[in-house]
């Protein structure tokens, strides 16, 4: 089972952009870790054509193998990895404690979200678990950085029964992207103004509703980091006003070296 590091933070704080900056700082050969898209390509590249029982999928496998359409390779591999092939995939039952906590939180009458929003949050969490599952054949020495992992997308980590969580489902480190909620909200609104696009979780919300959702996600991220820290998981706080790529890379390397006991206070 591969090891992993999670990047957590409020919705729209800039986690994905920062992960891309981390990945672009060093070429793949110079890194001891992979992003999720890189890992997807690696899993499919290590598969065999006999793993696919459909002519279309065999053709797609051949295209990605020769990297005929390099800029579309991840998209092709994502399609292939969703096809049932002969590599082991973890059962959703392995994540039962995660799903039970998320469902308990979403059913809490005190949570003032619409049914649509609650449905999106659950679907987002299940999708992140399935992405995690899809990498099940990566070797133990593989390390994957997730910006939408099983802990990031779970807004009820304080409700998780960790006695039911297998050790390999715990990250070896956590990078906490920190940004004032008001600034966070400004960035989301600026992205909407510049691109006309919002994430599925932000679509259809504005004003106080959007502000409430952003603050909820920021607080959930803080709670997640605090709980994992109490369980001895190394973490670092990253100021997203001036994120330090070098500091993050140093933290990642130390977590990989030790896989435990790495101190966020002494990166």
Q: Quote the pLDDT of residue 142.
A: 86
67 and 95, same domain (yes or no): no
In a domain, 263, yes or no: no
What is the per-residue pLDDT across 33-77, written as a single tens digit (0 to 9) for each?
999 988 888 877 777 666 667 777 677 777 776 665 555 677 777
**Which CATH number belongs to the domain containing residue 108 in this structure?**
3.40.50.300
27 and 118, same domain (yes or no): yes
Q: Quote the pLDDT of residue 137.
A: 67
Q: Which of 56, 86, 116 is the last residue of a domain?
A: 86
- Tell me the C-alpha distance between 159 and 167, whole Å: 17
Instruction: For tokens 């992405």, name the residue.
Output: 131
What is the per-residue pLDDT across 226-257, written as a single tens digit (0 to 9) for each?
999 999 999 999 999 999 999 999 999 999 99
54 and 19, same domain (yes or no): no
Q: Provide the number of structural domains found in the chain.
A: 2
Q: Which of 45-49, 139-143, 150-154, 155-159 has the lowest average pLDDT?
A: 45-49
Q: What does DSSP say about strands 235-239 and 143-146: parallel, antiparallel, or unpaired?
A: unpaired
- Tell me the C-alpha distance between 116 and 166, whole Å: 31
What is the per-residue pLDDT across 108-126, written as a single tens digit (0 to 9) for each?
999 888 898 899 899 999 9
The pTM of the whole model exceeds 0.85: no
Two tokens at 45?
Answer: 């590249």
Two tokens at 230?
Answer: 């109490």
In a domain, 266, yes or no: no
125 and 209, same domain (yes or no): yes
208 and 156, same domain (yes or no): yes
Residue span of the structural domain in which 10 resides: 3-36+88-258
134 and 238, same domain (yes or no): yes
Asked whether 174 and 193 are in contact (CB, 8 A), the reply is no
pLDDT reading at 203 higher than 50: yes
246 and 170, same domain (yes or no): yes
Q: Any residues with CB less than 8 A from the CB of 81 and at least 6 apart, and which? A: 40, 43, 44, 134
Helix (H) or strand (E) segment spanning residue 35:
strand 34-35
Q: Quote the pLDDT of residue 256.
A: 93
Compute the half-sphere exposure of residue 67: CA atoms within 13 Å on the CB side of its CA: 5
| Cβ-based neighbour number of residue 22 at 10 Å | 21
């Amino acid at each position: 089972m591969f090891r992993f590091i999670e990047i957590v933070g409020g919705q729209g704080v800039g986690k994905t952009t920062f992960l891309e900056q981390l990945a672009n700082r060093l070429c793949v050969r110079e890194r001891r870790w992979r992003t999720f898209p890189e890992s997807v390509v690696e899993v499919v590249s290590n598969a065999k054509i006999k793993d696919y029982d459909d002519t279309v999928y065999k053709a797609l496998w051949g295209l990605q193998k020769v990297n005929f359409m390099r800029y579309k390779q991840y998209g092709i591999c994502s399609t292939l990895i969703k096809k049932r092939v002969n590599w082991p995939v973890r059962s959703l039952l392995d994540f039962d404690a995660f799903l039970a906590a998320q469902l308990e939180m979403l059913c809490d009458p005190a949570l003032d979200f619409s049914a649509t929003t609650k449905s999106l949050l659950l679907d987002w969490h299940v999708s992140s678990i399935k992405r995690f599952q899809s990498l099940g054949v990566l070797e133990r020495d593989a390390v994957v950085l997730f910006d939408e992992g099983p802990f990031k997308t779970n807004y009820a980590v304080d409700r998780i029964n960790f006695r039911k969580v297998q050790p390999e489902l715990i990250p070896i480190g956590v990078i906490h992207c920190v940004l004032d909620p008001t600034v966070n909200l400004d960035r989301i609104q600026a992205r909407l103004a510049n691109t006309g696009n919002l994430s599925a979780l932000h679509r259809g919300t504005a004003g106080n509703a959007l502000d409430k959702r952003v603050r909820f996600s920021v607080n959930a991220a803080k709670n997640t980091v605090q709980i994992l820290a109490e369980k001895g998981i190394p973490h670092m706080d990253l100021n997203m006003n001036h994120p330090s790529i070098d500091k993050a890379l140093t933290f990642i390397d130390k977590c990989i070296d030790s896989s435990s006991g790495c101190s966020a206070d002494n990166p």
